Structure 1
Amino acid sequence: MSPTRHTSDRFAPGTFSPRPTPAPASALLRAQARIESLLFLRHGEQQLLTLVIPIGMLIVFSLLPVTDLDDPVDEIYPMTLGIALMGAGFTGQSIAVAFDRRYGALKRIGASGVPTWALIGGKIAAVLSAVVIQLVLLTTIALFLGWRPDLVGLIPAAVFILVGAATFTSLGLLLGGTLGSDLVLALGNTLWFLLMGAAVVTVIDPDLPTAATDALDLLPSVALTHGLVDAASGSFNVVALLILLVWGAGGTLAALRWFSFTMDGD
């Protein structure tokens, strides 16, 4: 027998079992989505950003005379839904990913053969799981506060929720997957506060100067908020959707390009 003969030539297929092979893409995505969703829903700090603060804002802005809106809940509810989604997708994911990288958890995931696209897909699925809970709780409270939706806007609202979840998750992964954990902790919370403030001010202060409004409209948080507010009234804000898509595409491409499973020096 020639010493260069390959093992595959000596034994018939099926001789040895098990025969490990790469998992199908769909199985990879399902498994990653499940574990990411469980980890996300068990994290108390993330629930503060994604549920407690938005619910508090919904109740306070709807019941107390702090705005000049005629029917505040009609615009406050979509705004708080957008803020909740942003907290789940951006701040929560960026901080979680950064500390997973710091403690080596993502390095082990990468070593197991999970590709970057599967990790991003799993994170998006985890955010969508949180969004379902947010929708149930915030909608229930809004209905008790007198909110009455226009059923025509259900499809536009669903589109903005899905695109918004993907957009902010990709931006969160970009931040958490490229910078150090301490910097992400500070920068993630600061950016979340600024993006939230921009969304809030455009809703409760409709008399902003045109130049300020035009500039704020380009932010993803404002685009999501306007899209959800318009959807609640039965219309589809195409411009806001395009702005979200641009941010989402840019964040996804950048995350795929520069996302790292480890910190520098690991």
Structure 2
Amino acid sequence: MIMAQAALETRMLLRNGEQLLLTVVIPTLLLVLFSTVDIVDTGEGAAVDFLAPGVLALAVMSTAFTGQAIATGFERRYGVLKRLGASPLPRWALMTAKTLSVLVTEVLQVALLTAIALALGWSPAGGTPSGVLSVLALLALGTAAFSGLGLLMAGTLKAEATLAAANLVFLLLLVGGGVIVPLEKFPDAARTALELLPISALSDGLRSVLEQGAGVPWADLGVLAAWAVLGLGAAARLFRWE
């Protein structure tokens, strides 16, 4: 039942034009545009080397947080979650199916964006087993953190409020999360606060491994783990099914 529901959730997402715009088109356009046009000073080296890890982080946020929050919020409003909760599929299994759908979508996103970045001249570092494990750990914790926050928003706010808030947060974190604009460009006081955001930790961690070839980014993993625990814990406690 879980696999069938996950397959259904994935098909619904891939057939939704608005979701595809958010999860595929926007990250792709940002990667291509800012890699080929000198708009933002990304420091030394090729722009794509800085941008690719950040756009991968943005893709995770767009699917696990923004897309999931909006879709789940309207499912809650129209009574879909209430009906599914009364079906033979347990509620925990429904949440598991939604998580699997998010993971499948992210795999497709990462594959597509990586192929585009490589075509634009991206030369990722971190090809060692330790580097690969670090990237997978960052993506997994980032997904958990953003999923928790997305479900928390969808389960506590009205659908229209979720739609507005999720898109607003997406835009704010796109600008201030180190995805396109380096955090070094911000004042020191603002930078200290921005570094504690999940999108900043994910993009910075991916960048340290894939651009600089650094070791395990423990600090960034710690920030993501803290957000994951807080977000999932609050969602489990406060989520309302109707």
TM over 0.5: yes
Alignment of 1:23-172 (within 5 A): 28-68=1-41, 69-70=43-44, 71-150=46-125, 151-152=127-128, 153-172=131-150
CA shift, 1:217, in A, is 0.6
Specify which structure has the bigger relative contact order, considering alpha-carbon pairs within 8 angstroms and separated by 6 or more residues: 2
Q: Structure 1 CA distance, aligned partners of 2:70 and 2:160?
A: 9
* Greater displacement, 194-203 / 164-173: 194-203
The answer to whether 1:210 aligns with 2:195 is no
Distance 1:116 1:167, change over 3 A: farther
For residue 168 of structure 2, the aligned residue among 164, 167, 190 is 190
**Secondary structure at the residue paired with 1:177?**
helix
Alignment of 1:171-186 (within 5 A): 171-186=149-164
The answer to whether 1:258 aligns with 2:238 is yes
**Secondary structure at the residue paired with 2:48?**
helix
Q: Structure 2 CA distance, aligned partners of 1:166 and 1:43?
A: 23
CA shift, 1:91, in A, is 0.8
Distance 1:158 1:203, change over 3 A: farther
What letter matches 1:255 in structure 2?
A
CA contact (8 A) 2:19 2:67 kept: yes
* Greater displacement, 153-162 / 203-212: 203-212
> How high is the sequence identity, in percent, across the aligned residues?
43
The normalised TM-score by structure 1 is 0.83
What letter matches 2:238 in structure 1?
W
Q: Structure 2 CA distance, aligned partners of 1:101 and 1:205?
A: 37
> Bigger radius of gyration, 1 or 2?
1
CA contact (8 A) 1:163 1:245 kept: yes
The answer to whether 1:234 aligns with 2:213 is yes
Q: Structure 2 CA distance, aligned partners of 1:201 and 1:95?
A: 22
* Greater displacement, 207-216 / 85-94: 207-216
Distance 1:201 1:76, change over 3 A: closer
* Greater displacement, 60-69 / 75-84: 60-69
Q: Structure 2 CA distance, aligned partners of 1:72 and 1:167?
A: 28
The normalised TM-score by structure 2 is 0.91
Distance 1:174 1:115, change over 3 A: farther
Number of equivalenced pairs? 235
For residue 222 of structure 1, the aligned residue among 200, 204, 228 is 200
CA contact (8 A) 2:27 2:58 kept: yes
Distance 1:240 1:202, change over 3 A: farther
CA shift, 1:201, in A, is 6.5
| TM-superposition CA deviations, 1:150-182 (whole Å, max 9, x none) | 203222111111111121112111111111111
Q: Structure 2 CA distance, aligned partners of 1:116 and 1:89?
A: 19
Distance 1:246 1:217, change over 3 A: same
For residue 224 of structure 2, the aligned residue among 244, 251, 261 is 244
CA shift, 1:117, in A, is 2.7
For structure 1, list consecutive stretches of 5 or more residues without a partner in the other structure: 1-27
Q: Structure 2 CA distance, aligned partners of 1:114 and 1:247?
A: 28
**Secondary structure at the residue paired with 1:241?**
helix
What letter matches 1:223 in structure 2?
A
CA contact (8 A) 2:55 2:179 kept: no
Q: Structure 2 CA distance, aligned partners of 1:166 and 1:44?
A: 25
* Greater displacement, 165-174 / 85-94: 165-174
User: What is the Cα-based RMSD across aligned positions, in Å?
Assistant: 1.7
CA shift, 1:202, in A, is 7.3
Q: Structure 1 CA distance, aligned partners of 2:111 and 2:180?
A: 25
